[in-house]
A and B are shown apart, each in its own frame.
Chain A
Amino acid sequence: MKGAGVRIPGPGSRCAPTPGMTATPEGRSGAERHETRATYRAFSQKEAKELEVQLPGAQQAEAFVRAFLKRSMPRMSQQACEDQLQRKAVVLEYFTRRKRKEKRKRSKGLSARQRRELHLFDITAEQQRYSLFLPLHELWKQYIRDLCGGLKPDTQPQMIQAKLLKADLHGALISVTKSKCPSYVGVTGILLQETKHLFKIITKEDRLKVIPKLNCVFTVEIDGFISYIYGSKFQLRSSERSAKKFKAKGTVDL
């Protein structure tokens, strides 16, 4: 027979005696109970057992258990029943804060508005100097040279074209050759940022120019190889461009 449940008020965190809580048993039953409870709390459980201070509720519970056992098993004597009792404390109502399963929260990332507010991708005025970005350009040239395996004069233009399509263009020297809007024609500079629809370029006069890709033809020059990029077909983020397959088309009219 398992141990019958004994109600224990809460986890045993009230063992430590709190000083200054001795109460004298006086007054009516309610107050008495209240005060004996307070007394009980003042002592540790061991001390309470020695001094035989028991909560009235506990006495009633014991009496009930004895009576119940006697009723259920009339053949067994009281002594035998009590021997069987294991007196394990089983917690009946156990309220714990269920630890919420850590849901894998996908980082949603920032929306364009939040990104703009954070000014993460803005280039401040004191950083807008052409000379600052020349090393970047040299880096890019080196990167392209490595990509194409050394740019010799007899390298096939097709190969370079194919590599450039998937390459990253940040730091390239770009100029606008043809455009539907005449004022964009002739703008030359180092590419700083590439978004889905724009190129952000810094010109020699330290001006940051924002050029839409649509309806423009850009020229990229590397070591004597000049490539023309048709902006209308290039409307992709640079990260997506490396995965995209470009179809060959005859001529492109702006």
Chain B
Amino acid sequence: MATLRRLREVPRHLLVCEKSNFGHDKSRHRHLVETHYHNYRVSFLIPECGILSKELKNLVMETGPYYFVKNLPLHELITQEFINTFVKKGSCYALTHNTNIDEDNTVALLPNGKLILSLDKDTYEETGLQGRPSQYSGRKVMKFIVSIDLMDLSFNPNSKKCERVSWSFKEKKPLKFDFLLAWHHTGAEESTMMSYFSNYRIQELQPKIALSTVTELQCPVLRSGALRGEPEAACSAPELLDWLGAVFSRADLTNEPHSFVSTYCCPQPSTVVARAYLCTITGFILPEKICLLLEQLCHYFDEPKLAPWVTLSVQGFADSPVSWRENEHGFRKGGEHLYNFVIFNNQDYWLQMAVGANDDCPP
């Protein structure tokens, strides 16, 4: 009985909506974008737009390369050389590829120098490093989180902690993973990552970009002041998110009775837009690039435009061990953690953050 009930219940998800203005002092948009580390897909929608402006197009094309290394042993990430070359200069991001967060061991490197290991029980008992049990364990703890501060390790390279970590990674339990790496540097060094990991099979990859135009799109009417919508005048924020998802999955919004796929229809009140521009970038995308994209989209309204608003959505990796900052992220039934900006022409914005079941509330 209890099992049946458990299988039937819908896992909880949270949607946090907030509104603010870009010009506001205490606006948190930069902070939230920068602390969402592992981004998988970025997409934006511009209604009433046929072609992208040049700046926007350049930005989209230059969302930087990311690197894929096969079978990289973990002790390479804690060497002094690596820390001094990449972690200290700029922001280095790393995530294991093709590991499921709820089953396998996952490793992530955050730009503040923290190496987060999400290990299963047997591996944790063998490595011998101090960690804590995962927040989302049931009666029996199956997952443990070990957090290693690389900045601390580089401070005193001869400390007991450093020796223990190196002993564990090199001799006790050498772990190897396929990593996705990305590095944002402010200096002039170019592609030193390729040369650094030349011993291992490293590939430089560019994010996939998909551009398209949609004609005759039904868009909901929004008012920037009313997050919850007004009964006959504007739609609410959750409705907008639903509609956005339907548009990007190319669902028909006509609500035809014989349609098998979806009976979703555009929330009312809505208008019909002649054209809309959709763009999707898929890959291991740096938060810094997303910041630039956001700024550029704000500047979209510097000249008067027909469009009342534009949206920018970012989705995170389902297998990342962290969502925002160092909040633990789990999979449960769909490890989503995403956020969506709705930018209005008066520099107001709406920010919606959604997380799945095994997640903390977004900041």
* A residues neighboring B (CB under 8 Å): 177-180, 182-186, 254
Contacts and interface: CB of A to CB of B under 8 A. Distances in A.
B126 A178 contact: yes
Given A184-B128, A185-B127, 11 more contacts: A178-B122, A178-B125, A178-B126, A179-B128, A180-B125, A182-B131, A183-B130, A185-B125, A185-B126, A186-B172, A254-B121
10 tightest A-B contacts by CB? A185-B128, A178-B125, A182-B128, A178-B126, A186-B128, A182-B130, A182-B129, A254-B125, A179-B125, A186-B172
Size range of the chain B interface in the assembly: 10 to 19
B169 interface: no
B350 interface: no
A34 to B, nearest CB: 95
A186 B125 contact: no
27 contacts: A177-B126, A178-B122, A178-B125, A178-B126, A179-B125, A179-B128, A180-B125, A182-B124, A182-B125, A182-B127, A182-B128, A182-B129, A182-B130, A182-B131, A183-B128, A183-B130, A184-B128, A185-B125, A185-B126, A185-B127, A185-B128, A185-B172, A186-B128, A186-B167, A186-B168, A186-B172, A254-B125
Contacts of B168: 186
Nearest to B171: A186
Interface in B92-136: 121-122, 124-131
Nearest to B125: A178
A178 B122 CA distance: 8
B74 to A, nearest CB: 16
A27 to B, nearest CB: 102
Nearest to A178: B125
Nearest to B123: A178
A177 B125 CA distance: 8
Contacts of A182: 124-125, 127-131
A183 B126 CA distance: 11
Contacts of A185: 125-128, 172
A47 to B, nearest CB: 99
B149 to A, nearest CB: 17
Contacts of B172: 185-186
A177 B168 CA distance: 11
Interface string B270-302: 000000000000000000000000000000000
A182 B167 CA distance: 13
A75 B332 CA distance: 125
A18 B130 CA distance: 92
A180 B131 CA distance: 11
Contacts of A177: 126
Contacts of B126: 177-178, 185
Contacts of B121: 254
Nearest to A216: B125
A254 B130 CA distance: 17
Contacts of A254: 121, 125
Contacts of A184: 128
Contacts of A186: 128, 167-168, 172
Nearest to A187: B128
Contacts of B167: 186
Interface string B332-363: 00000000000000000000000000000000
Nearest to A182: B128
A180 B121 CA distance: 9
Contacts of B129: 182
A185 B127 CA distance: 8
Contacts of B124: 182
Nearest to A185: B128
Chain A CB within 10 Å — which of B121, B122, B126, B128 has the most? B128
Chain B CB within 10 Å — which of A177, A180, A185 has the most? A185
B162 to A, nearest CB: 15
A182 B125 CA distance: 6
A182 B128 CA distance: 4
Contacts of B130: 182-183
Contacts of B131: 182
Interface string B128-155: 1111000000000000000000000000
Nearest to B131: A182
A244 B128 CA distance: 32
Contacts of B127: 182, 185
Contacts of B128: 179, 182-186
A182 B129 CA distance: 6
Contacts of A180: 125
Nearest to B124: A182
Contacts of B122: 178
A186 B171 CA distance: 10
A181 B39 CA distance: 35
Contacts of A179: 125, 128
Chain A CB within 10 Å — which of B122, B125, B131 has the most? B125
B138 to A, nearest CB: 15
Interface in B68-108: none
A199 to B, nearest CB: 17
B161 to A, nearest CB: 12
Nearest to B146: A182
A179 B124 CA distance: 9
Nearest to B130: A182
Interface string B164-206: 0001100010000000000000000000000000000000000
Chain A CB within 10 Å — which of B121, B126, B127 has the most? B126
B63 to A, nearest CB: 40
